[in-house]
Structure 1
Amino acid sequence: MRWSGSICALVTPFDASGALDVPALQNLLDWHQSAGTSGLVIAGSTGEAALLEDGEYEALLQQAAQHNAGRLPLIAGVGSPSTQKTIRAAAVAKQAGYQAVLAVTPYYVRPTQAGLKAHYVALADASALPVILYNVPGRTGSDLLPETVAELCTHDNIVGIKEARAEPDRMQALLALQADGFDVLSGDDGTGLRAMQAGARGIISVAANVVPEQFARMCRHALAQEFADAQAIDDQLRLLYDALGIESNPIPAKFLLAAAERCQNVLRLPLQGLAEPYRAAVLAAWVEAELA
């Protein structure tokens, strides 16, 4: 299976009591299917996965897969500081009917490059689902270097990477590794189009939570090499990209989804709702993006 286009790293909606909001989750899934989203990441970092209890994680994956009913490809976030816990999460995703797993570099423990390679090889060997690597040093404290990716991408069960570093040279180094069985995806909305112009096959996006139709159109134009049309949309979304990073993800995204009455503005501690001084600017950026 190839991974491309607009892949949304979906928020996890909670109700007023803090429990998983299944009706809101179902509505979000329906919205993305009709908006042209190419795939969804369930229980990634945007989905507050690190704040879910084990039973909640399993319930989230199962509820999403059951309601999705095969309409969109689903990727399960399985990242953990522990290799064995990551492997167990991949088994849960397989049982729930997912198509792949997205495994962030083990956070907090800061493994060496040799440790990262051993971690991903162990996961890929054990997982019945294809593995997509995920590098986001700003969140994890470790950086999966291109030379390590070059060793990992030869594994038959490692099928791609989400790269959140924005430097052009990092993306170029990874694109040199792209092949029929290994897809390079941007994990940074602000430079995602630039990455696709250079050859990346898609974007795993936070902004797609808020403006899925516009983001999907931009990616379709980029894949068709209609870069002027893609750039026009990207330019209109630029304020939104900045707004979604004004506080820790997914704080601004959930604020906007609540404003759109798509889910409640409920986050898990230690995350809290968007600070009052930022709200007007974030709303203005969303209005601008809706026009794209």
Structure 2
Amino acid sequence: MRKQRPSITLNILVLVGALMMVFPFLWAFVTSISPGAGLSATPQLIPENPSLSAYAELLQRLPFAQIVLNSLILAILTTVFQLVTSSLAAYVFSRMPFKGRNAVFAVYLATMMIPMQVLVVPLFVEMKSLGLIDTYLGVLLPGIASAFGVFLLRQAMNSVPQDLDQAATLDGAGHFRIFGLIVLPLVRPALATLTVFAFLNSWNSFLWPLIILRTPAMKTLPVALAGLQGQYTTQWDIVMAGSVVSVLPMLALYIFTQKYIIQGVAGTGLK
């Protein structure tokens, strides 16, 4: 009995924590199906007259399919570019020694401490000189590389035994074969984690798309949802309907990558 008490207490704590995490999403969904709902101090989790009218109104007010497609394409491209650039850079920092490698890596990591707000003006001037204002390429370029992604994948690659590299080198494999056939399969959990973070950051990005994009049809989802808030009154059921829709791709991505993270953990290690 004594051994079961800590387990029961831990399960209760986990359950309470899970409920606290789920409640905001549940509250957003309930508000979205409650016509005329506001940010009430006394939430009602069971609406009296549930309706999907907020979702219909959302589709009428905005070219919602195009806006979601804009965010989806930008998030997918950003994720793919970050996976490619971060994995290649991480392999160099992990497997290819050169003079000053640690110093260069430290300087590269130091860029993580620079907030985006500081970079907005020079990035905007650069994009204007390149003629990329109000273009998707202008939104995409600042996010094709990630210092966090390089750090995450480098740490994962450092845990892969270099004996595998030496064995592959004896078999005539070069760096690209070692990188693609040996190292990458063994860091799949880190790749899946970076995929989630990169997609999430791009999907929720607000400041840079707001500054660089001018055409209404080119807006991303966070910018379009911010435009739903009125100056004096806000229809929170419509805003929450958009928020619920914005959560669905991230939920699907998490469910998809969770399987690969488990497979990656099971496939790592030496026999």
**Which category of TM-score, normalised to the shorter sequence, fits these structures?**
under 0.3
Identify the structure with the greater strand proportion.
1
Q: Which has the larger radius of gyration?
A: 2
TM-score (structure 1 length as normaliser): 0.23
TM-score (structure 2 length as normaliser): 0.24
